Structure 1
Amino acid sequence: MSTDWGTVIVAVSLFILLSPGLLFQIPARTRVMEFGNMSTSGIAILVHAVIYFCIFTILVVAIQVHIHF
């Protein structure tokens, strides 16, 4: 019996990639998008959470990513 690690791997990788200010930030303080500024705001956190939820839902529910070890 093996467990499905697809959702865990997708969730962790998206969390790392979509952390506001790490790779990019939408919206930034002075522009629409900034790269690697390591600062964030409340609206940027909300935008990144919505993007995270949309991509996670598409990958897990619609595409049904499954990884079994």
Structure 2
Amino acid sequence: MKFYVSFGQDHVHNVGGVTLDKDVLLEIEADNEGEARRRVWKTIGPEWHRVYTEDTVKFEYFPRGTVTIPGV
């Protein structure tokens, strides 16, 4: 299942050359939301906003679209 993680106004991260900020969603393939949350926490800690599903995400609010990070 695909999950999408958003980041707050002050949450800017650079992971493996990928910038994560308020304008982008991190796409994660996981079995459930709990697994997606654990993987984000393990990679960047607590500084992110929320997790969306394909049914709840509104891509138009994220002008940079989606990104993936290998291993997350």
Q: Answer 1 or 2: which has greater helix percent.
A: 1
Q: Answer 1 or 2: which has greater strand percent.
A: 2
